Every structure is written in C-alpha cells, then in structure tokens.
Amino acid sequence: MKKVLILAYDFPPYVSVGGLRPYNWYKYFNEFGVYPIVVTRQWTNEYGNELDYVAPSISDKTEIEETERGMIIRSHYQPNLSNRLLLKYGKSKYKFFRKLITAFYEFAQFVIPVGPKKELYRSANTYLKENSVDAIIATGDPFILFKYASKLSQKYTTPWIADYRDPWSQDIYGQQHFLLNRWGRIMEKRIVRKATLFTTVDNFFAYNISKLVPNLDHKIVPNGFDPEAIERVKNIEQETDVLTISFIGTLYNWHPINSFLRVFEEFVNSNPDDPIRLKFYGLGSNDMLTDLIASTYKGIEDKIVIYPRIPNPELLEAISKDNVMLLFNYYSFMGTKIFDYIGINRKILFCYSNDKEAQRIKDQYYTLEEDPLNEVQIQIALINKTNSGIIIENDTHLLFALKQLAHEFKSSGKIECNSIGVDKLSRKKQVELLAQIITGIKSKS
C-alpha cells in the first residue's frame, strides 16, 4: 500500500469547505490502496465563526490519532500577536497595527521559519525522520504549505504534489493588493515548479496556474459531495409550512446579493399571504449582509435568518429540510456548494446567467482571467446536465420564478427536483482518481 503525507491546514473538526477535500482523501484513500497520514492543526471551534481560525489550541503538545483509515497528526497552534489582539479586543480595535503584523508574517514566513503555521512543518518533519512515505501532498490555501512540502520533498527525496483548491497569486482578493500579489507570484513560481505535478479542481484554475508554471504536468481532480453524508440525509422530508430558500457559504463582492434581496422584497410585498423565508448558513463574515438588511431591507428582516457555521453533516441535515437552494454565478469556475445542492436533491435557483447589474459588479470585482478555450459558465452546464435547477437570466426572470415556486409549494407542499447522473459527482470517485495519480508517481532517485 502506498503511503502519502498530506499537509492540510483546514481539516475537521474545523468548519470549512476547504477542509472537506482532504478529509475525504483521509476517508477513502485506503479503499484504493493508499494509506494517508494527515498533518493538520488542532481546532477548538469555540466561537462558531471566523475567530475559530485564530483561536489557540487547548493542548501545547502534538496529538496523534490512528484509525483503520489512516493517521491524523494535529500540531498545536499559538496565534500571533495580531490574532491575540483580535481575540481579546475584537475587530474594531488596533486594525492598522494588526494589519502590519499580519503582513509581516505573510511575507516573512516564506523566508524564515516564523508564524503559527510553522508547527505543521515541524510535526511533518518529526514524522518523516522515522517513517518514509511515497508522496507528499500539500493542499492550499494557506499556500505556505507548498513551501513546507517542497522543503520536505528535497530533504527526504520524496515527490510532492501541489493541490490547488483555489488560486494562489491569482486569487481575486490577492490581485487587489499589489505587493502581496507580486510576492505571491514570485513565491508561487519558485516553489511550485519544483513539484512533481499540480492538481486542481477544474480546467479554469489549471489554465491560470499553467501560465505561471507552464512546463509542469497537472491533473484535474474535481470537488464533489460526500456520499456517506448524503446517504444519511436522503430520507429527510422538505419543509411543508414555509417555502424556504437557502444559501450556504461565503458571499463575495461579485455576488448580486443586493439585486436578489430587492426582488425578494418585491415578491414579499406583493404576495403577503405566501409564507416564505430566506436562510443563510455559515457565512464567513455576515457584517456586510446584516448591514445591508438593516439599512435597505428592514421591511423584510423577519423573512431572513442568518445561521452561524456548523459542521458539514449538521449543515446537510439542516438544508435537506429546505425547499430551494440559492446559487450565485461563479462564471469560469464551479465552486463547491453546487455539489452538496445536487447531492441532497433540492432544486437550485441559479442567479444569474445574463443580468446587467450582475455583469457590472462582475466587471468591478471579478478579476480572474477567464480561459477563452473553455466554457465560461460551467455551473450552468452542470445544472442542465443533471436537471437540477432553474437558470435565472435576470432580476425580472427571478421575480417570475419566485411566483412559480410559490405556486408549486402552495399546490403540493414541496418543490420537486428530479436530478439525474448524480452518482458521478461523489467525492469518493474523485479520491479514486487521485489515488491512481499517486500510484503512478515514480519515486525520486
């Protein structure tokens, strides 16, 4: 059986979409001839929001857990001064000082062994001193893990794979910070070119990454849904008293949330007898949304519910009771939530395919370069292929669709969804693909 060391910062019990990808590697690798050793950090989930990312671990010692699936090595975590100030005084105090400290670590960690994430390298290095592996995978972000994987690869003559869940220097927010972007491009080119290959979730990301490391082999390993988690919720019945439209995950600047809320408000005001509720689950930061509702949509505040982050199994159980899933356009890339939406067999409300306001904010905030050789709106293609939702063209079409959904709900007490070809989107299928890639890697001489 092949052995692979996995550097994964986000990993359960931390509530993160990014942690699901390596977690499913851990769950299923052994079924395909690969033994996983996951190196991550200790998580406490004390706050139920973004503060969990910087909260210190309870133990100051490395914890090791072995199961029939593999091994998990959890390093201790001590936040830096910036994060300690954030935890003690909140987001409103010492903003500039905290930004300076954070910026220092973002740059310095690639040059000298500083920063709270360095404990993952130390734990991995300790393991490799006594044990050999056939390959190392680092999944980013944080992309400092790529540096650690490259360093361990050279030290122990072991091939390594750079797994991109998201772009690095081409990240949408990173491109808005010139110095951070320039530094990221330099580090990305220097580090990733030493990898055996890189993996990523779709052709769009592969296109952009290959422009930086053009001679490096790559493989596409898509995201998907957890088949075991979906199996546990497949018999949960929909809400029958109130039509519920739900959104999970992060709201980005290029999401047309204002347009959606405006149409939602128009529907509520013109159809006061139709019970309807809009739910948001696990927003990374809900300040923008709560401020928008309080300032502009206070009249429908009682129709909107915002929930904190909850573990993925509990999240799937919650949204399985809802009727419709809201999905915003990611344009050239797929995102992850679409797979859970399809997996639970709830109708997707996709916004938008051709809306003027959505295009305007896309032009303003969506800075990733699109691949002219590949399909631009791949979410639409998947929804159509699986028959899993409604493609909303613009805000006028959205109002019409809400009326249709309300009529269907009033008539039958549920919203029908008849998806097809869903099994192919299981994460287990993607783990099998990655296991084949690892099996085919030749050891370094």
Domains held by the chain: number: 2
Are residues 193 and 319 located together in one domain of the fold?
no
For the chain, the average pLDDT equals: 90
Q: Would residue 99 count as lying in a domain?
A: no
The CATH number of residue 315's host domain is 3.40.50.2000
Are residues 262 and 359 located together in one domain of the fold?
yes
Are residues 208 and 297 located together in one domain of the fold?
no
Q: Would residue 83 count as lying in a domain?
A: no
What percent of the chain has a predicted confidence (pLDDT) above 70? 95
Give the CA radius of gyration of the chain. Answer: 22
Are residues 298 and 387 located together in one domain of the fold?
yes
Q: Would residue 355 count as lying in a domain?
A: yes
Are residues 205 and 330 located together in one domain of the fold?
no
Are residues 282 and 388 located together in one domain of the fold?
yes
Whether the CB-CB separation of 200 and 333 falls below 8 Å is answered with no
Question: pTM of this prediction?
Answer: 0.84
Tens of pLDDT along 37-65? 999 999 988 887 788 899 999 888 999 99
Are residues 146 and 187 located together in one domain of the fold?
yes
Neighbours of 227 (CB within 10 A): 19
Whether the CB-CB separation of 180 and 174 falls below 8 Å is answered with yes
Q: Would residue 91 count as lying in a domain?
A: no
Are residues 232 and 210 located together in one domain of the fold?
no
* Side-chain-facing half-sphere of 116: CA atoms under 13 Å: 22
The CA distance from 49 to 396, in Å, is 35
Are residues 436 and 406 located together in one domain of the fold?
no
pLDDT at 285 over 60: no
Q: Would residue 176 count as lying in a domain?
A: yes
The CA distance from 55 to 46, in Å, is 8
Q: Would residue 327 count as lying in a domain?
A: yes
Peptide bond just before 352 cis, omega within 30 deg: yes
Tens of pLDDT along 137-149? 999 889 999 999 9
Among residues 406, 400, 394, the alpha carbon closest in space to that of 272 is found at 406
pLDDT at 106 over 70: yes
CA separation, residue 150 to residues 157, 170, 211, 368, 444 (Å): 10, 20, 20, 26, 13
Are residues 289 and 182 located together in one domain of the fold?
no
Q: What residue has token string 């063209």?
A: 393
Q: Would residue 15 count as lying in a domain?
A: yes
pLDDT, position 177: 65
pLDDT at 116 over 60: yes
CA separation, residue 262 to residues 270, 359, 398, 406 (Å): 12, 17, 11, 17
- What is the extent of the structural domain holding 218? 2-78+116-224+427-440
Tens of pLDDT along 128-186? 999 999 999 999 889 999 999 999 999 999 999 999 998 888 765 554 566 777 888 89
The CA distance from 111 to 117, in Å, is 14
For residue 105, give every residue at least 6 positions away whose Cβ sits within 8 Å of its Cβ, in sequence order, or none. Answer: 80, 82, 114, 115
Are residues 280 and 357 located together in one domain of the fold?
yes
3-state percent helix, strand, coil for the chain, nearest multiple of 5: 45, 15, 40
Are residues 285 and 357 located together in one domain of the fold?
yes
